[in-house]
Structure 1
Amino acid sequence: MKSKFLFIASFCFSSILFAQDQDVVIQNIVKEASENSQLEKLGHELLDVVGPRLVGTPEMKQAHDWAVNKYKEWDIPAENQQWGEWRGWKRGITHIDLIEPRVRTLSGMQLAWSPSSGKKPIVAEVVILPEAKDSTNFAKLLSGVKGKLVMISMPQMTGRPDENWEEFATDSSFAKMKEDRNAQSEAWSDRMTKTGYTNRNITEALEKAGAAGIITLNWSRGFGANKIFSASTKKIPTIELSLEDYGMVYRLAEYGDKPKLRLVAESEELGVVPTFNTIATIKGTEKPEEYVILSAHFDSWDGATGATDNGTGTMVMMEAMRILKKMYPNPKRTIIAGHWGSEEQGLNGSRAFVKDHPEIVDNVQALFNQDNGTGRVVNLSGGGFLNSYDYLGRWLEAVPEEITDEIETTFPGIPSGGGSDYASFLAAGVPAFSLSSISWSYWNYTWHTNLDTYDKIVFDDVRSNVILTAIMAYMASEDPEKTSREKRVLPISKRSGEQMTWPEARDATRKGGLD
């Protein structure tokens, strides 16, 4: 009995000491994140100095090297791991001027991977996509685009987002605008259908017919916001104009004023270049072959600097790693930060990592991913893992209430089939969780737009996410139990009426943009 009593007393005393140590570590994490934050500096170096991080560009490689060197400053080993190859491309200067019927510099830019305008500026008249009776008639009209800049997008009848109309317009005026806009969209769709082509392949026909360049509009339903994606032309440049300037030039062409532009769209093809993930590691002491992964994609589109997609997610994981190294230098389990390449083209970096590193994937305790803007985390799902509440609940209890009070949890949840890099790991059965944040008008104003810049970052929210991530990583590392990977029985899909199935693991596109 005495021996049993001593054992129980010793166990209780050890538990008390562990709880005290845990409290100290958590307090130190919160204090470091709050009083010695490096987020603003990281944001400046990544976004202002390096800039956008389109896969295959020199800036993407510069970002990978910057991250490795930054981790080295913090005494955290890191390396760039090649997983594939991509079409190399370098963005140069875009300058667009209206020169007839009056002179004005326009707001716009070339799309990613756009061919160059050449050694001399293109000076050409602007015409609208020919309106044809049918595909045969369109083939005859194509000769009219030779040597011209062709507008291939529908102009917007209003540059005001719907919420602005809803706030200020009369109900009847708002309803009429939406009705007119729907009719305009249907008419433009019919116009495209009668060409015999689609939005995806119309540029090929125009390029073959001798067009000097393509002009597009991909408005993001917000003041001044355009989505900036990739060009589909092979030899002639594709430029995106702002809604305001696109509309003006379109009207000039429509009314017969024969607008003429002077276009400089410099770019350089760089051949085939390697693509990487940056992997940073804090080695575990007791269970080094088990892993906690902090996950964020490193690449971006290049209409702006990729501040909220996914500069903020990158900064959260880097800052969390810095703090963990300082306050928790000898973790029980190995903690990895994965900065994935080419997420924007299909989760390629993370899919490659899952395929190439089964020894890590099979032993992941938990993965935390952040990739939807600058806002504080407000949603956490169990991802379809039956017992996820048990361990996520334990870990969340250690996070300050002012952070967890904002978070709505869903257990056991359902697995995501895509959208961000945690889905690559979920498909392999890894307990991988998305730290989903409040919107801050992300989808309209910064997601893949020309406005995704440093000034849109809400640093108080990002600091909150750093504290959450660092504490969750610490708790996952220290947890005496291995997380369960038991999956729930998935429900019937409301959309298809069929039994939902767990997403299947897929390999990456290892050679991109090379066809």
Structure 2
Amino acid sequence: MKKNLLFSAFFAIGAVSPLFAQESFDAAAVQKIRDEGMNRSKVMETAFTLTDVTGPRLSGSPGLRKAQEQVAAQMKAMGLQNVKIEPWGEFGKGWQIDKSYTAMTAPYYDALIAYPKAWSGSTKGAVKGEVVIVKADSLPDLEKYKGKLKGKFVIYDSQTTQAAGDIFQADGSRNTDARLAEMAATQPVTPGAGPGGRPGAGRPGGRGGAFAAMAFRPKLAEFLASEGVGLIINMGRGTDGTLFTSNGNSRAKDAPKAGPEVEMSGEDYLRLLRLVKSGAKVEMEADIKTSFYTKDLQEYNVVGEIPGSDPTLGSELVMLGAHFDSWHSGTGATDNAAGSAVMMEAMRIIQATGLKPKRTIRIALWSGEEQGLLGSRGYVTNHFASTADMVLKPEHSKLSAYYNLDNGTGKIRGVYLQGNAAAGPIFRSWLAPFNDLGATTVTISNTGGTDHQSYDAVGLPGFQFIQDGMDYNTRTHHSNQDTYDRLSADDLKQAATIIAAFAYNTSQRTEKIPRKALPAARPPQTPGGAGAAGTAPARN
């Protein structure tokens, strides 16, 4: 019954609906895609391999290398062509955790939730020490601690007294009809407007204090290292045992190796702080081992293709992508094994249906996204154009569109146009067969923070899909809770099916997806370093 209703909807759209009359598509092909994607999905098998089997995929780590080799082999097994592990430029030092243990031993024993900060160093084997509070905002503040911190476990004073926030607000949520309607009604950004289309909107003021703190941090770390502290402990963001990790130190090839430093769950950290402030003698033990890797400072993306079948259009491209790297405290399930598995599944669906796309469909799984979209930016620079000079390379004219997924496990509710109004009627038409699955909304709005921006920055059509938030921002994003268990199988099936249809429809259009005007060149303000595009040979 669903199949008949679906076909009726397709033909009604193509035959009588003036709203979609400008954009036709192969309804039978889309139905094949839907049937394969919703009834014979392999997306959770891929997600399992990327998370439980492979583990964390921090850029530069052996874990990411292993995952890249595994997914390249999977691409080849799927029948993709031109599969390679392609360098995009210099990343810097690799790093991984080999061992991590922290516990309070007095006034009583308790194992604590803590993870080393990325690119931080090791303890000198198993170490024990007293917990002391350091309160310092400037170099003069440190004078009183000279000669008193050797072997100590250092924590910082905090105005926060409780880790819990609003416990009455649900962790997870989906987009409401009202919210989607608001997004759909958004007007194009006016000239000079900041984020959200409001003239002058932008970042709030008051950043001076934050910049001062950032400038002082290296000096504080240098002082603590010179004093020979046993371990530096930071209070991590999060509640209820959830710990959101962050970067600890520089990955630059010439950066000095940092000392041992961890982030601890808010509940455990504040308990230590309260105890020390009360006058109790608090002692801890820790055994942390991390490794740095400098043999290969390059980083890589994994790419593969379904070659185009049309003699003329076959040299043109449709691209799908998601970032493949993760942070290190979880297994990077919602950020972003979800998007990577969905894009792999979209390619599998197209292959399994036997459809022959006219344009080449290329998948790219990026590294270095968490450090600033480095993998996609390097790829775009190497293949299409550099924002520094906007000199267009031959492939720039060949790309029709790039589609990205990187907002967790939630199902697709629509697509952001990134200000590309001309693409709106096309995408509304393509979403129509999936309206019954909750995908209805096209918004002119921009969204940021992920790899479609690398394409948009050089005038290429790059799009991110609207997704239900679920518990992405409250529980899983960059946290120790970002594991396979947080994935929604039904949502990922839906997303992969819709993206497969978008990719196939894009490959079949007579014309490429419309483009916005080319942006002006933006020369870099500072000399390039780790992250600049490179030309090392690919690892196949």
TM-score by length of 1: 0.81
Secondary structure of 1:449 counterpart? coil
Counterparts in 2 of 1:511 and 1:409: CA distance versus 1, 3 Å: closer
Pairwise CA distance, 1:91: 1.3
Match of 2:18 in 1: none
CA distance in 1, matches of 2:144, 2:529: 42
Secondary structure of 1:52 counterpart? coil
Q: Which runs of no fewer than 5 residues in structure 2 stay unpaired?
A: 1-13, 16-22, 172-207, 251-256, 385-393, 534-540
Conserved 8 A contact 2:416-2:464: yes
Instruction: Report whether the alignment pairs 1:327 with 2:353.
Output: yes
Pairwise CA distance, 1:196: 11
Equivalent residue in structure 1 for 2:301, among 260, 277, 298: 277
Match of 2:453 in 1: 423
Instruction: Report whether the alignment pairs 1:232 with 2:254.
Output: no
1:356-375 alignment, distance < 5 Å:
356-358=382-384, 359-375=394-410
Pairwise CA distance, 1:483: 2.1
CA distance in 1, matches of 2:300, 2:472: 27
Conserved 8 A contact 2:44-2:341: no
Counterparts in 2 of 1:408 and 1:163: CA distance versus 1, 3 Å: farther
Counterparts in 2 of 1:143 and 1:433: CA distance versus 1, 3 Å: same
Equivalent residue in structure 2 for 1:213, among 228, 231, 241: 231
The one-letter amino acid paired with 2:482 is: D
CA distance in 1, matches of 2:410, 2:370: 20
Match of 2:509 in 1: 479
The one-letter amino acid paired with 2:486 is: K
Pairwise CA distance, 1:199: 4.5
CA distance in 2, matches of 1:199, 1:420: 27
CA distance in 2, matches of 1:155, 1:419: 30
Match of 2:531 in 1: 510
Instruction: Report whether the alignment pairs 1:393 with 2:428.
Output: yes
CA distance in 2, matches of 1:508, 1:431: 28
Conserved 8 A contact 2:119-2:258: no
Conserved 8 A contact 1:161-1:223: no
Instruction: Report whether the alignment pairs 1:249 with 2:249.
Output: no
Same amino acid, percent of matched pairs = 29
TM-score by length of 2: 0.78
Secondary structure of 1:144 counterpart? coil
Deviations 1:354-389 (A, max 9, x none): 111123333211111000110012242211224122
CA distance in 2, matches of 1:337, 1:230: 28
Counterparts in 2 of 1:505 and 1:73: CA distance versus 1, 3 Å: farther
The one-letter amino acid paired with 2:308 is: G
Match of 2:88 in 1: 83
Deviations 1:373-410 (A, max 9, x none): 1001224221122412233233333x32213x443221
CA distance in 2, matches of 1:196, 1:36: 50
CA distance in 2, matches of 1:427, 1:505: 13
Counterparts in 2 of 1:476 and 1:201: CA distance versus 1, 3 Å: farther
Secondary structure of 1:400 counterpart? helix
1:305-320 alignment, distance < 5 Å:
305-320=331-346
Secondary structure of 1:198 counterpart? helix
CA distance in 1, matches of 2:217, 2:328: 22
Conserved 8 A contact 2:317-2:398: yes
The one-letter amino acid paired with 1:306 is: G
1:344-355 alignment, distance < 5 Å:
344-355=370-381
CA distance in 2, matches of 1:254, 1:503: 55
Secondary structure of 1:93 counterpart? strand
Counterparts in 2 of 1:505 and 1:440: CA distance versus 1, 3 Å: farther
Pairwise CA distance, 1:22: 2.4
Pairwise CA distance, 1:100: 1.7
Instruction: Report whether the alignment pairs 1:440 with 2:470.
Output: yes
Equivalent residue pairs, number: 454
Instruction: Report whether the alignment pairs 1:409 with 2:442.
Output: yes
Deviations 1:478-512 (A, max 9, x none): 11122221349xxxxxxxxxxxx879597884379
Q: Kindly indicate whether structure 1 or structure 2 has the higher relative contact order, using CA contacts under 8 Å at least 6 residues apart.
A: 2
Deviations 1:122-161 (A, max 9, x none): 11111111368x7434323343222211113637422322
Equivalent residue in structure 1 for 2:50, among 41, 46, 66: 46
CA distance in 1, matches of 2:265, 2:407: 24
Match of 2:184 in 1: none
CA RMSD of aligned residues (A): 3.0
Deviations 1:400-453 (A, max 9, x none): 2213x4432213x45x5x510000000111111101211112112111111111
CA distance in 1, matches of 2:170, 2:63: 41
Deviations 1:238-286 (A, max 9, x none): 0111112111111222122221111011111222423110001001011
CA distance in 2, matches of 1:385, 1:101: 61
Structure showing greater radius of gyration is 1
CA distance in 1, matches of 2:500, 2:58: 28
The one-letter amino acid paired with 2:128 is: V
Conserved 8 A contact 2:113-2:241: no
Deviates more, 1:342-351 or 1:105-114: 105-114
Match of 1:203 in 2: 221
Secondary structure of 1:268 counterpart? strand
CA distance in 2, matches of 1:205, 1:46: 40
CA distance in 1, matches of 2:476, 2:501: 28
1:57-96 alignment, distance < 5 Å:
57-77=61-81, 78-85=83-90, 86-96=92-102
Equivalent residue in structure 2 for 1:114, among 109, 120, 123: 120
The one-letter amino acid paired with 2:506 is: A
Conserved 8 A contact 1:313-1:370: yes
The one-letter amino acid paired with 2:367 is: G
CA distance in 1, matches of 2:470, 2:149: 42
The one-letter amino acid paired with 1:255 is: S
Deviates more, 1:44-53 or 1:223-232: 223-232
The one-letter amino acid paired with 2:222 is: E
Match of 2:140 in 1: 136
CA distance in 2, matches of 1:241, 1:331: 50
The one-letter amino acid paired with 1:160 is: A
Conserved 8 A contact 2:118-2:249: no
Conserved 8 A contact 2:434-2:440: no
Conserved 8 A contact 1:87-1:271: yes
The one-letter amino acid paired with 1:246 is: Y
Pairwise CA distance, 1:115: 0.6
Q: Which runs of no fewer than 5 residues in structure 1 stay unpaired?
A: 1-14, 168-188, 489-500
The one-letter amino acid paired with 2:415 is: L
